[in-house]
Chain A
Amino acid sequence: MPQESPVNDARIASWIERFGGYRREVGQPEIEAWLRQFRDNRDVGARLLDATEFLTRNDLEVAFREVLGRLPGWSAKETERSGRWFFVSFSASAGESGDSMVHVFRVANQLTHRRFNANFVYKSDLPSLRPGGEDTVIFIDDLSGTGDQAIRAWEENLQELLPERPRVILVVAVAGWKAVERIQERTELELWAHQRLEREDDLFGPECQHFSSTEKEAVLALCRRASRAMPKGYGDCGWLLVFQHRCPNNSVAVLHSSSSRFTGLFPRD
């Protein structure tokens, strides 16, 4: 277990350097105010920040480049590709992560030239494009935590949009182990992730050795103050993960949720 170290200016400066690019201001006043809420467990709060993984846009580009690079059948040269390839935003709401992820994906893989425009399509284009057994449809998103959304989407409309059964892939930067198992079990989607979060990445799980059980209890009590409904994050994932563009709701509540009794450091709104 890591030793206690003081929360001094240098340590705060290192957090500001890491988290400063978050969509909402994360500066010294915000960090100090957040830590004050931990009262006697200020050190635990500080160690939560140390352990938090912060993925920048650049990190996502690296992730998307790596994943597409190892997808069998893909080539930037059309003549070397097997079948037709279509890239689609998994989440469609304007401004949502899936929507902007397509742009990051395109830039990362140097697919911004207009000759690739026909490869980047809307979900609602799919029925008329009729991708078949030889073709590949890639849905792009930043994260799949529990697989709930992917499974629901598969059951509710993806199958209907893709009646000719092409190869369907969900590419994400990060996937939780629950998502990997459940998507494989319940859909025909292939999940390709750059990084997989395992059981030991669940802060509250027995496999996590970074915090003692007493410290976990203290954090959980604060998480309950932040969010009574999902203190451990959506799907009880218990993650310490923040994307520069938004903190996922699978992360522990003290990171992103706010109530009258606690204010998260990485608000999602």
Chain B
Amino acid sequence: MTAIDGSPLAPAQVGVKRLPTDSLHPNPYNPRRLFDKEPFETLKASIAKVGILVPLTVYWEAARENYVILDGQRRWMCAKQLGLLEVPANQVGEPTLVQNIVTMFQIHKLREDWELMPTALTLGVLMGELKETRVKALATLTGLDQAVVVRCRKLLSYPKRYQDMMLDPDPAKRVKADFFIELYAVISDRNVRRLHWFQRNQFTQQMLGKYSAKGIRAVTDFRVVKQHINNAVKAGQVREIGRRLKQFAEAPKLGVEHLQIPLAGQRAEVRSLLMVIEKLRAHLEVLSVEKVYGEEQLWGELEKLMKLISSKIREADRRIR
């Protein structure tokens, strides 16, 4: 035991064994390889002062005959850096593959800045082992947010060669998971899939080409693509959007504006406006004037709205009946 461990500030350990620091190994399924420096240093300072207060959780790995950390890797790393010869540890039974992956997911909450593809692949292993594909069940099991599980499943739906693009060692060449997640909405669109020329992998390849040629400037452009498709479908312009989408896919530098069918866009705008008007009318019909008699701001806004509506009606050469 070192001087730090013997600090009078540290309570005595009861029912916990002490293991040589060097005899422990990090958990191979721990997704946390890199730790934020600041909280790590804070923890290290605390351990230097009072020792490790919360014992690590470890298991004995029979195949390799060594202890593996189930919980407490940061504490163990601090202990190593501080030169502590022993650490307190609770030993539990050796987990199965599934138990191990689930535990690691539960303990190490996913951070937003982590690359999602490695997590998706581990989730894929879990799905295979458990034959479980339901989003809610997987989210409950792993502690991952349902939205994250959905994103992972989208990534896993791509062929391996595209999955590998998200694992490229060069960050400048690595294709972000968001690219494939946003693209998913387009390639899984029912109307797009029905287009006679559409092939999912070829289209994906074309979109990657467009992304590097700046025909697609940001991954969020796929939302615009999807919106144009939706507008066209609602306006009965499926053939036209299919034709434009083919041209868009084949020409690397052609921008998303090419997909805007004026009539379709206009109809969508009209539909959206009608919905707002209907909502407002419903509110006004039940409005009790007595109750809001003194609400000056409301009356002011209604007057402005009335003037605006009148001017638009006049502009359209229509008479107010």
Contacts and interface: CB of A to CB of B under 8 A. Distances in A.
Interface of A: 89-94, 96, 122-128, 130, 133, 149-150, 152-153, 155-157, 159-161, 163-165
A161 B118 contact: yes
Interface string B194-225: 00000000000100100000000000000000
A28 B124 CA distance: 55
B28 A149 contact: no
Query: Do most interface residues of chain A lie in helix, strand or loop, or is the interface mixed?
Result: helix
Contacts of B163: 122-124
Nearest to A160: B118
Interface stretch (B131-139, B168-176, B234-242): B168-176
Interface in B11-45: 28-29, 31, 33-34
Contact of A127 (B34, B121, B164): B121
A94 B34 contact: no
B160 A156 contact: no
Contacts of B34: 155-156
Chain A CB within 10 A, most for which of B63, B124, B161, B170: B170
B291 interface: no
Given A91-B168, A133-B64, A164-B28, A127 B124 contact: yes
A163 B164 contact: no
A2 to B, nearest CB: 36
A161 B29 contact: no
Chain A CB within 10 A, most for which of B124, B164, B208: B164
Nearest to B26: A159
A141 B315 CA distance: 68
Given A93-B174, A133-B63, 15 more contacts: A89-B164, A92-B164, A92-B167, A94-B165, A94-B208, A123-B164, A128-B121, A128-B128, A150-B169, A155-B33, A156-B33, A156-B34, A156-B169, A157-B118, A160-B122
B117 interface: yes
A164 B28 CA distance: 6
A156 B124 CA distance: 19
A124 B28 contact: no
Q: Which 9 A-B pairs have the closest CB atoms?
A: A163-B28, A153-B169, A92-B164, A124-B163, A122-B160, A127-B121, A160-B118, A92-B168, A93-B173
A124 B173 contact: no
B125 interface: yes
13 contacts: A90-B169, A92-B167, A94-B205, A94-B208, A122-B164, A124-B117, A126-B121, A127-B121, A127-B125, A128-B128, A133-B63, A156-B115, A164-B28
Nearest to A92: B164
B170 A124 contact: no
Nearest to A126: B121
A15 B173 CA distance: 32
B164 A160 contact: no
Contacts of A94: 161, 165, 205, 208
Nearest to B158: A124
A94 to B, nearest CB: 7
A145 to B, nearest CB: 12
A64 B164 CA distance: 23
A185 B163 CA distance: 29
Contact of B31 (A91, A96, A160): A160
Contacts of A133: 63-64
Contacts of B165: 92-94
